[in-house]
Chain A
Amino acid sequence: MWVRFCERWFGLLLILGLACLPFFLDKYTQFVVNLILVYVTVGIGLNFLLGYTGQFAFAHAALMGIGAYTVGLLTTRLGISFWIALPLAGVAAAAIGGIGALPALRMKRAYLALVTLAFAELIQWVLIRWKDVTLGTDGVSIRPPRFFDYALKGDYKIFWLILVVTVIMYVIARRLTESRIGRSWVAVRENEIVAQCNGINVTATKLVVFMVSAFYAGIGGGLFAATLGYIVPDGFGLLQLVLHFSIVVIGGMGSVFGGVIGSLLLTTLPELLREYPQALELIYGILLCIFIIFMPTGIAGFLKQWRVLPPEVMSRNWQALRDRPRPEKRS
């Protein structure tokens, strides 16, 4: 109960604090903060797949592109409201991710990686070549979303929108990972045969996680489009994917906090290294290696070990159990 209480009130304070940020930050810092929040959603989504269910799939950046393009094309070319386009971005990514997952459901490791990578390339190819719809490499400019008669124009105003959506996505993620669904993801990751023996429909579980993960990528992509105001197919390629993987691995696999920590760190890092762009990929690579070898559970895992962060996954049951008296020992 105590942990939950702390988390709730600390979370609320944090949100209030964050909401005041635009009054203190300069325009550029505000833009970086917006990006961090966007990557929280994206990172949490990939973590469902990679960290919780252990599926090495490489289509996350492309699915984020689907979300970004759904928002971009629906709002600018069809004049649909951003508030309808954003959920649709999630749904479109989930649908396409689900279709892409169908052949991938029975595959593992390297095969899964290859199939999803090819699928991602296919999506990017469509974004570039289907010029009549996507405008190809010219890219799409996104009009700022409107809140009633008020245009959310500029980094300061769009921030509140992103903050609200991110908080919603975060809360859903926490609920999901503590639910039956989240537990079945973990069971599939740990051992598919045992999961089967425990009554889990492994194929359905994987399909669900692929779709939920894609939904998060889509929403993240939609927010990304709104933040940048301009998107090109190239933005959702390999570098984007490496960034997503770094967020999850360095932040902490199998942890919702991990997505937050990872995006905070890895969005700030390139901004700090603006003057040495060639060093960036090198640093990503070295960091990934270091974390995979020495800290496989990432920063979040490390902090949980030192009890800075509360335990996750199934913690709810854990609490319930602790409230009950333990059965007496028999001699």
Chain B
Amino acid sequence: MLTVTDLEAGYGSIKVLRGIGFTVPAGKVVALLGGNGAGKTTTMKTIAGIVAATAGQVEFDGRRIEREPSHRIFARGLALVPQGRELFPEMTVIENLELGGLARRSTTEIAAGIAGVFAQFPRLAERAHQRAATLSGGEQQMLATGRALMSRPKLLLLDEPTTGLGPLIVAELIRIVRELNRGGQTILLVEQNVRMALAVADYVYIIRTGEIVAESEAAKLSDRDEMFRSYLG
């Protein structure tokens, strides 16, 4: 579904990605693992069209998208849940979801989408009219994910969903991601949390200073693997 080849990108004169390449097959969960400053978030932003690619290719659903603006990429069915679960803090849960549903045309479609998200995340239904800023970290992550799901994306990009969340909530997120994937959702996940990544991913790439340094099927790895840990640094 997504094929990234020799992708390069950066900010000004600083090059962050030095030729990254990986694939995300349809119906699978793929994880990019790496430490701070490895280029994980930049990879996500470049794929979503928020940071401009300086070289390389991104092929999504049979089309080259690396030169397209973010809103067109989004319209093609690629939704990014940004790092730090950026929400519209002063708006209610429902209003946040409505804004995620901008791509949907009719009111009834938006309402159906919201009902779908509420079925997926019953906790959000309970807090429907609460301001997003008053939600707990886990609930905020659910809301950010739900908002991205409003557009019914073919590919969901999750950028470090576990940042700053406690172990119980991470377990809940693992359950949610698995459930989404069972429903047929293709997911590209970026993580520092090895446990999360290995628990949900079918395939894992390890990224370090803007390059892929290792890759493996998730089932063959364990988080105690020495070589594996040394790469993460």
- Chain A residues within CB distance 8 Å of chain B: 180, 183-184, 186-187, 190-191, 193-201, 313-314, 316-318, 320-321, 323-324, 326-327, 329-330
Contact = CB atoms under 8 A, between A and B. Distances in A.
15 contacts: A180-B102, A186-B91, A187-B99, A187-B102, A191-B88, A194-B82, A197-B79, A198-B100, A317-B110, A321-B115, A323-B111, A324-B112, A326-B125, A327-B125, A329-B125
> Which 6 A-B residue pairings sit nearest by Cβ, starting from the closest?
A199-B74, A190-B88, A327-B119, A201-B71, A320-B111, A321-B111
B71 to A, nearest CB: 4
Contact of B102 (A198, A316, A330): A198
Contacts of A190: 88-91, 99
Interface of B: 48, 50, 69-71, 74-75, 79-82, 86-91, 94-95, 98-100, 102-103, 105, 107-108, 110-112, 114-115, 118-119, 122, 125-126, 147-148, 151
B73 to A, nearest CB: 8
B111 A193 contact: no
Given A199-B75, A199-B79, 9 more contacts: A183-B99, A198-B79, A198-B147, A199-B74, A313-B95, A317-B98, A320-B107, A326-B118, A327-B125
A186 B118 CA distance: 23
Contacts of A324: 111-112, 115
Contacts of B115: 321, 324, 326-327
Contacts, number: 96
Contact of B82 (A197, A314, A330): A197
A327 B147 contact: no
A312 to B, nearest CB: 11
Q: Which of A196, A198, A313, A323 has the most CB of B within 10 A?
A: A198
A245 B61 CA distance: 48
B87 A194 contact: yes
Contacts of A320: 107-108, 110-111
Given A197-B82, A198-B74, A183 B111 contact: no
Nearest to B117: A327
A316 B107 contact: yes
A313 B118 CA distance: 21
Contacts of B102: 180, 183-184, 187, 198-200
